[in-house]
Structure 1
Amino acid sequence: MNNQITYTQFVLFCKVHAQGLRENIHAYISINDAPKLLSIELSFLQLFSEQKVDLLQENYDSDINIWLQSQKDVLTIEELSLFRYIFEQSIFALLIQNKNTEFSAFTFFLSDLFIRLSSCYNHFHQTVTQEHSPSHHDKKTQQLIALNAFSACLIAATDATSSLPALLHDAESIFSFKRCVFYAYNPWLNEYHGVYGAELMKVQSMRGKLADHTAVFSERKPIFLKDPTHYLPASAIELFQLSSIVFTPVCDKNKQLYGWLTFDQLSEEFDMTKDDLEVLAQAANLLAQFLGRKASSNVTTAVQLTEKEKIILTLLADGLNNKQMAELLFLSPHTIRDYIERLMHKLHAKNRTQVISTAFRLSLIT
């Protein structure tokens, strides 16, 4: 793939990385908030990931048309731009995760894909989608877009130690706050301590027992203090020049607590709605998932496959023979045979059938 990719190459990409794309889509959408949109995204991915590559036609208008026929009554025009945004970001996030630099090729293909999809949609509904750009979404949709943007930052991040300062800066920009600070929780000492945030020396000077601030730290949901005078030490309020502040616990679905995020506007007083607090709660939950994933990321699979080996493995599982794979990938049958031999060696398999069964058992293909 250089400046452009073909429909067949895009389908292969979706087939090889179907599981990763599903995980990225889930990371962009909270199923409790948008179950319908999630099912539509996964259905659209399935359109590509379950194709038989040896039966593909490069003109994919009919594939889009058939899929849209099944979705046109559930995918509203208000959701169309957001649907595109989430699907594209899930693709781009996977490219980042796999250190794939072919953004321009995928951008060009996805642009063409969604132009065709929009054209089909307009044909069905006889309306113009341009009037419904993301800037015209209601506040709830704008909040979801903000969460998607924060998810993208988390997905692209490397490790927690080096990425957290930048992620806090991203959170300030995305959620429109002037300061975001992370306080870590030490369960053995039942203490909190400042880790990262603007004016680092001040942040890291903050340390104490949870028992001293029970009202703030005991809740497992965001707390908005419009006037923190009666809840925080006067020394902390003076140190950070606080007028209002939000405390948001960073805990995952299993209630494991990693710490707290605080958001404020420096010395300016501000207000928060219930929906605003819910958005920050979801952002903190995403951060907890990130911290949890990175904590366990040292455990790597014993089988490491190259991108080309993953493609060959996927085509093997689809039942293609060496000649068909060679024609599809513009390689010689001899090269295909070499790839299969490498797969047999890496998977300790005696034949092609064992390669496929072992790959399924190790979840290398789904």
Structure 2
Amino acid sequence: MTSIISVGGDYDVTIGAGVLDQVPESLPDGVLRVLIVHAPVMAAAAWALEDDLAQRGIGAILAPLPDAEAAKTAEVTAWLWGLLGEAGFTRSDAVVAIGGGATTDLGGFVAATWLRGVPVVQVPTTLLGMVDAAVGGKTGINTAEGKNLVGAFHPPAAVIADLSLLRTLPREDLVAGLAEVIKCGFIADPAILDLVEADPQAALDVDGEVLPELVRRAVQVKADVVAADLKESSLREILNYGHTFAHAIEQVEHYTWRHGDAVAVGMVYIAELSRLAGLIDDDLVQRHRAVLSSVGLPTAYADGDWEALLTAMRRDKKTRGDLLRFVALTGIAQPTRLEGPSAEDLRAAYDAVSV
């Protein structure tokens, strides 16, 4: 079954098995050339798309990227700008990004910055990309100082999420992607948590009925939030639940951690911090640990450098001046902000996830 979810009426997210062939039709009218940026493992899909476009009279340039976060650098971005410049790409041309979250982040950023914006079609090939990175128009690259500190808001022309691509995804990457799905359950849709808790293994079965439903629900949560707040001025911040500590882990670990694994620990961290602040009770903290661990996600981060983590958190996009700000909960599907927690509580929450 194919599902189409509208993001504020601006573009659609198409979700289903075998929908990859809809990429050419999703390009805006009049596109003459396409830059296809793709993850290393998506070379065959990129070649197939190049052939399909050629039959429609559309030229394509293939740009294979370094793997994962290694692609999200200023150097790779400049190389792609060079390809566009050499080919004389204009605003009647487009970018297609085929790969995981790092690929769609980079592809979107290149599209956002070339000629101040050309169309991009996002083709996420990982669970994480489908439910999070490719939807919403947030694009970016990393710097030595932190993750996604350089970026732009640039909504795609379309998102094509072919669930059949998940069959070849390593299990550990599928598990990591579930962190963003579970996050949507905590901040907005409790039915997600119910589905995972009822049968954690079914949540990891690509050919079953539960995982596609989880993807649809998570995309709907993100679509609803993004439609109400494209540029993260208020409501959209709730999508960063668990991400403040997660991004700190990623930076300190030099991006060797999977994003979803870091987000899982980040959600437990903010749950512990929220409990210390009197926002939630022990039961809700335990529910975080239980549902995340049931699908194989980590809930602890041992032997970290607390001062380095704290420094990284202070660079978070939600920080204002010296005021650390977190997305927190007062209950399931009841997000709020936690601003300026004490140094003692920050450390105590860390101690709780470092054992």
* Bucket of the pairwise TM-score, normalised by the shorter protein: under 0.3
Structure 1 or 2: larger strand share?
Answer: 2
TM-score, normalised on structure 2?
A: 0.25
TM-score, normalised on structure 1?
A: 0.24
Structure with the greater alpha carbon radius of gyration: 1
